Structure 1
Amino acid sequence: MDVNHFLISSLLERWRSETHTFHFPYGETTMTLEDVVVLLGLPIDGDVVTGPTTVQDIFATFHEHLGVIPPPTVIRGNSIRVSWLNSTFQQLPPNANNEVIAQYVRAYILTLIESILMPDTSAARVHVMYLLRLADLNVVRNYSWGSAVLSCLYRCLDHGIHLRQENIRGCMILLQCWAWERITTIAPQLQPLSDQEVADGDGFPVCRRWMNFLWRPYTRQEVSRLIVVDIPPVSRATVPIICFATVEIHQADRVMRQFGLRQNIPPEPVNLDQVHRDDLRGRNDRDWVGHHHQWIAIWNDRENRIVQGTPLAETAICVMKHRICSGT
């Protein structure tokens, strides 16, 4: 899917890194775990995606999990070139046994991670740390891949607002589909735009088009019958979301209207300046499980951190009764 760079740039102008939300005239909004599970179908309720990020022998690791030893030219540091994965694992051989099928599955998931879900600025190399999480395919779904994707997107948007940042990485498909679902006036047109419509500014998002916003697009009848995934309650939990060195806060308490609840005054956002200094550069041998143990403990307590509130329908009725009783 082509990425609309005008749309991404317009959204970046309204992104606030301290809250991980877009600031619109009608309030704050952002991509949540609910959007991830609906739009991407990834599991969001599970163990955090973290662990060791380095191996003793990278060639032996690839041979163990992919069945082949890559040439040294496609290896750089702890990463491997995605183009080599595409060419080497392009076609599953006939009569492949379960072990070979598992190797091709790992290669395919690695390609998805780097090209779509959690790409870097070049989308050319994928880190070996993801391959380690794919070693046992029977437990892969036990990880919260959705929260890992969202944490990387949050971090990428934080970097994207810097003036010197030329490229932006992260799951742009998630960001763009989120915008299309909620801001219907910027969704793809069924009919091509005329030259006059383009001249009037209808070919890309402008300020006047932000006003039509759907807080709950997935509850519409034509949409809800197409959704085939269960949305777990953790989708509205205020918790840290983690992907190896990356830690961000899923601030569901700032976008309660997206869950059909009345928006309360949110608390001050958590200051993550110190955590944001952590990345993989020069820290490949760090034990991220131990280093982020306090954040992982909060994530493991996610069931007790689900946002509660007054449903919007009840709020509207109370406001209406108040106006009738007061004569306003």
Structure 2
Amino acid sequence: MDEPKEDEISLVAEREAEMVSSPDPLIPIKRKAWFLDPHPASPQEVSRFAPSMRKNVSLAHLRESKVLFRGWGSPLRRWGDWVDKLQPVYGDLWKKSGIFDAIAVSTYKIKKDHSSILGVAAFWCGETNTFVFPWGEATVTLEDVMVLAGLSVLGEPVRGSLAGEFAEIEQRMVREHRTFNRSTSKKADQSAWMRHYMEGEGDELEHIAFLALWLSRFVFPGPPIKTVKQHMLPIAIRLARGTRIAFGPAVLASLYRDLGAIRDNLVVHNSPKAEPLVVWAPFNLLQLWLWEHFLSLRPDKQNLIDNSEPRAARWHDVCRKSDFSLVHSALESPEFLWRPYMVSLENWSRPSFYGDIGMWYSGNTTKDEEVRSFAQCLRAAELVGVDCIEQYLPHRVSMQLGLDQDVPCHIPRSNSTWEVAWETYDITSKNIAFYVPPQFFKSGITLNYSIWWKECISACSILVENDIQPQGSLEDIHNFQSKVISEKKMKKIHTSPSMKRRKVEEFYDGMLSDCLVSANDSVSGDNDSVESENLQPSITRTEQLQSCATKQKEYMKLKPSTYFDCKVRHNPEASQSVKLDICETDVITALVNEGDSVMMGDSNRRNGLGSAECYLIARQPGVHIASQEAKLKLEQVVEKRMMMKAEEFQLEMQIKMLKEEVAAIEARAMDLEPVC
């Protein structure tokens, strides 16, 4: 790529980087990569801006939660007829205004899967406006809004006042609106509104009334329910005159806002008598997003798309009722479709920016409206809604847009006024440069991101395990997370495996030998001892020592962790056996030196207790060693278990080597030039 010009704003950075294909890296591959700006300029910026780790929401609390989705706009009974009546007259104008597909989507019935909506809301992070899953971040992007809802991301802001002729039309429509206040319902009821205007001749007044109902029910629903909102009239008038309005960012802002409200409501344990939470955003968009990105949450049935129908037609009038546990399992699984719109669907035309090869574009030369729309999806900005402003951070979910993922850095808010916020979003007059990836490009993550994300998840698990919810600003939370991670690293340094092993060896040299010596009075040469003596073959003390040392070395090499945090305790009340309690290990290996058993009686020495012993005891608290035969059986069981673990370890290493080979092959394949 050429060097950017002085006045040019680059949305994508191209550079070589060490890349891996998942958060669990095998061998990083250095290749050319494409990242969304901004990205961290120094390592110090990396650790500060992790997503906020918050308390988990239990499945029981999800089932008890009460949320009402008032903005879920289903079509009125004769709404499709009204659309069919006006489309031949105003269809071209709808295309010019960028609402043709959105009006078509409003005729589809998208059924609600309550469990999946609430389940995914439990993963929402309001500070980053992303879902924070164990495997990474994801969110509803402007691209999703364009493709699924048919809403434009280009155009004028939804806010603003009218002047001149537009203002005169507004006054006329306001007078019309007020006549419904004198009706029986005392409000502009949507059904009554449609019956009143649908009988007209299809003039401009009817068209404005149609658009006002569409906006009030499907785009910006709000209280009072099922009414045509008076503040929608100015927007409807602008649309009726062919003005293109950026509905995409406004709708996405309302969705972000209400997801935050649901998440906050879920973490507060309200009483059963508490009032339900009411949200007004069009959550049917989130339902479509879930079905597109999570295969395991999709309905079994899907529709075939007819020519020129929007993509949402495949989900019309299909149903899926999921259990909360299934939803939770699906969301925690890394089987997330980063770019579902790359999958070809019969009769569905993909936008022109889904090309076969990667392309760089400059704002001054880009005339294709769809390509500029994709550029808008790449820009981090403030989303200006009708009654809210939310931050859009696509650089945190670059893989959803076909680009590579680096550690995201912080972007300060610019939302003092809606005009200031809109300036961060609008690229109409800006000279921009951006890269559109090829359709089948397989994006990845940097090695730095993989390390950073593991630290984020590690800090989250510590907070959850200790039921810690840090308070304060977002930066305070990030500092707290960094402190927890640092303390955990220091703890690992101070408790190295060699130190653990040395402490355990010292423990067994003294405590276990003392325990067996003091058991002389409890383990007597009664019938059990005689029976064990007859079963035990004659073995010299030197052979016992050599055998025991050999076994000990083998098990220490295979699983050194079995040598720590164990304790052996003698139960003086046991007259026929020595009772051993085993804690926090799979296997215990105890070596009794020859000098530790000189105080034992002759009967015990005949049974082998006076010489070196190697007890291999399976993880089973309160095991009674009543005879030498029992000990031999335990040894056999443990040996089999250790052999199985060794085989599992070898299989894991083989799988890891195969994954490394696959990753290397994929990297070489990506470096190959495409065949013309």
Structure 2 residue 366 is the aligned partner of structure 1 residue 243: no
Q: Which residue of 2 aligns with 1:176?
A: 287
Cα 1:309–1:112 shift into 2, 3 Å:
closer
Q: Which residue of 2 aligns with 1:87?
A: 195
Match among 142, 161, 177 for residue 263 of structure 2: 161
1-structure distance, mates of 2:257, 2:443: 36
Task: Report if aligned partners of 1:239, 1:299 keep a CA contact under 8 Å in 2.
Answer: yes
Deviations 1:136-186 (A, max 9, x none): 445554110111111111112222223276222211111100110000110
Give the TM-score, by structure 2 length: 0.38
Match among 63, 66, 91 for residue 172 of structure 2: 63
Cα 1:7–1:268 shift into 2, 3 Å:
same
In structure 1, give the amino acid aligned to 2:342: T
Which residues of structure 2 form unaligned runs of 5+?
Answer: 1-109, 266-274, 303-319, 353-369, 448-659, 669-676
Q: CA RMSD in A?
A: 4.1
Structure 2 residue 143 is the aligned partner of structure 1 residue 143: no
Give the superposition deviation at 1:227.
3.7
Cα 1:71–1:295 shift into 2, 3 Å:
same
Give the superposition deviation at 1:71.
3.1
2-structure distance, mates of 1:118, 1:15: 22
Matches within 5 A, 1:220-235: 220-222=343-345, 225-227=348-350, 230=370, 232=373, 233-235=375-377
Match among 248, 255, 260 for residue 397 of structure 2: 255
Task: Report if aligned partners of 1:16, 1:23 keep a CA contact under 8 Å in 2.
Answer: yes
In structure 2, give the amino acid aligned to 1:84: A
Give the superposition deviation at 1:116.
2.1
Q: Which moved more, 1:66-75 or 1:292-301?
A: 66-75
In structure 2, give the amino acid aligned to 1:239: A
Cα 1:259–1:169 shift into 2, 3 Å:
same
Equivalent residue pairs, number:
291
Structure 2 residue 186 is the aligned partner of structure 1 residue 72: no
Task: Report if aligned partners of 1:16, 1:158 keep a CA contact under 8 Å in 2.
Answer: yes
Q: Which residue of 1 aligns with 2:226?
A: 124
Structure 2 residue 419 is the aligned partner of structure 1 residue 293: yes
1-structure distance, mates of 2:239, 2:278: 33
Structure 2 residue 153 is the aligned partner of structure 1 residue 32: no
Which residues of structure 1 form unaligned runs of 5+?
Answer: 192-197, 276-290
Task: Report if aligned partners of 2:239, 2:245 keep a CA contact under 8 Å in 1.
Answer: no
SS in 1 for 2:382: strand
Deviations 1:211-232 (A, max 9, x none): 2210000011237944468362
Give the superposition deviation at 1:69.
5.1
Task: Report if aligned partners of 1:48, 1:144 keep a CA contact under 8 Å in 2.
Answer: yes
Task: Report if aligned partners of 1:133, 1:140 keep a CA contact under 8 Å in 2.
Answer: no
Instruction: Give the number of the structure with larger relative contact order, counting CA–CA contacts within 8 Å between residues 6 or more apart.
Output: 1
Q: Which residue of 2 aligns with 1:8?
A: 117
Structure 2 residue 23 is the aligned partner of structure 1 residue 23: no
Deviations 1:68-96 (A, max 9, x none): 7523347999x84434323322x343xx2
Cα 1:92–1:37 shift into 2, 3 Å:
farther
Q: Which residue of 2 aligns with 1:278?
A: none
Cα 1:298–1:269 shift into 2, 3 Å:
closer
Structure 2 residue 342 is the aligned partner of structure 1 residue 219: yes
Matches within 5 A, 1:168-207: 168-190=279-301, 205-207=326-328
Give the superposition deviation at 1:120.
2.3
SS in 1 for 2:152: coil
Task: Report if aligned partners of 2:174, 2:230 keep a CA contact under 8 Å in 1.
Answer: no
Cα 1:139–1:246 shift into 2, 3 Å:
farther
2-structure distance, mates of 1:66, 1:3: 37
SS in 2 for 1:125: coil
2-structure distance, mates of 1:139, 1:15: 39
Give the superposition deviation at 1:37.
0.9
Give the TM-score, by structure 1 length: 0.73
1-structure distance, mates of 2:126, 2:407: 19
1-structure distance, mates of 2:667, 2:400: 28
Instruction: Tell me which structure has the larger Cα radius of gyration.
Output: 2
User: How many percent of aligned residue pairs carry the same amino acid?
Assistant: 22
Task: Report if aligned partners of 1:262, 1:315 keep a CA contact under 8 Å in 2.
Answer: yes
